[in-house]
Amino acid sequence: MRIKPQIADKIATTIFIIIAGILVLLLVLFAGYLIYQGRSKLNLNFLTSEPKSIEAGGGIGPPLFNSIYMVVLSMMMSLPIGLSAGIYMAEYARPTKMTRMIRFCIEALASLPSIVIGLFGFLVFVQMTGWSFNLLSGALAVSVLNLPVITRISEDAIRNVPLSVKEASLALGATHWQTIVKVLIPCAIPGLVTGLIITSGRVFGEAAALIFTSGVSGYPLDFTNFNPLDSSSPLNPFRPAETLAVFIWKVNSEGTAPDARMVADGAAAVLIICVFAFNILSRIFGGLLNKRFAGKTNI
């Protein structure tokens, strides 16, 4: 019995809609459960106060700041290198054995578990450098984790720019480098921002690699001290610092405060909300950049 093409199309469309609905439902249930469990802790005092190890009523101010600072540090290191590597692979690398080897190394590095990167970071960035546990070691480890992702996304974003746009730029007398900087990169900004969203969200929620590099404890922070050389300054990258994800793991595994479970639930809810907010704001920002640069792809 042969099914009519119109009926087969409707059946396939229905199946795809059901699958998409299941995925959305799973996300809503997962995020909704975490936010519901931690709803009692979602207040300004919880977001800004210091954690407490024995007493009840602690907050997540320093871990939350450490997570944001970790994202900034890691992106400052991994984004320029990953973008440069993506430009090289998309525009300069020829299909040779060396190029295939580079691609294989990128894919192998992208498939490494974060715990392996954490052990590597512990041996290289913590022990060999003598820095001990600190934010910079964690940012370097996470940068190694995200470099292949940023490289592949940057390469794909640049390759997805229509060839006619590149040919038009070259035909007008622009050099290859001018075409890359003034035409290809502005046109690839939506894809690049998407890559930044993925890697930043991964940094924000990373725990395994940071346990071995940035540590599971931190100094009390003085948010009025902006001296990056002072151990109490929040801007000091050489201080041990637990991020929000590491803080959740620590509280769940060895928390001794009477309200440890409630603090962990509240921290998990804040983590989910931050990831969602960061994704939404990044997409809005990416759309604004796309409109801004759409009319500026001139030579």
Asked, for residue 230, whether it belongs to a domain, the answer is: yes
CATH code of 115's domain: 1.10.3720.10
Of the candidates 137, 141, 129, the one whose C-alpha atom is nearest the C-alpha of residue 238 is 137
Euclidean distance between CA atoms 260 and 58, whole angstroms: 9
Which two structure tokens, joined as six digits, stand for 40? 């009692």
* Range of the structural domain that residue 134 is part of: 38-294
Give the residue carrying structure tokens 């940071």: 210
1 token code pair:
């019995």
Residue 161 near residue 187, CB atoms below 8 Å: yes
Query: Per residue in 39-80, pLDDT tens?
Result: 888 888 888 888 887 777 788 888 888 888 888 888 888 888
What's the average model confidence in pLDDT over 274-291?
74
**pLDDT range class, residue 20, cuts 50, 70, 90:** very high
Q: What is the pLDDT of residue 299?
A: 46
The pLDDT of residue 181? 86
Greatest CA separation for the chain:
78
Helix and strand numbers (H, E) in the chain are 13, 0
**pLDDT at site 286:** 65
Residue 290 lies inside a defined structural domain of this protein = yes
Q: Could you tell me if residue 80 is inside a domain?
A: yes
* pLDDT band per the 50, 70, 90 thresholds, residue 17: very high
User: Residue 233 — φ and ψ, nearest 5°?
Assistant: -75, 135
Contact assessment for residue 7 and residue 15, using Cβ atoms and an 8 Å cutoff: no
DSSP, res 247: H
DSSP 219: P
Q: Is residue 7 part of a domain?
A: no
CA distance 101 to 104: 5
- Given a cut of 60, whether residue 112 has pLDDT beyond it is yes
Average pLDDT value for the chain? 83
Dist. CA 65–CA 161, nearest whole Å = 37
Give which of 153, 159, 148, 150 is closest to 184, Cα–Cα: 159
Task: Indicate the DSSP class of residue 55.
Answer: S
Q: Is residue 6 assigned to a domain?
A: no
C-beta atoms surrounding 266 within 10 Å: 27
Q: Which residue has the tokens 């907050």?
A: 59
Q: How many domains does the chain have?
A: 1
In 3-state terms, what secondary structure has residue 226? Answer: coil
3-class secondary-structure state, position 218: coil
Position 3 in a domain: no
Q: What is the pTM of this model?
A: 0.82
Q: Model confidence at 15, in pLDDT bands (50, 70, 90)?
A: very high
Tokens found for residue 136: 């910079």
Let me know if residue 254 belongs to a domain. Answer: yes
In a domain, 271, yes or no: yes
Closest to 185 in 3D by CA, of 259, 294, 266? 294
Tokens representing residue 229 in the block:
């050389």
In the chain, the amino acid numbered 117 is I
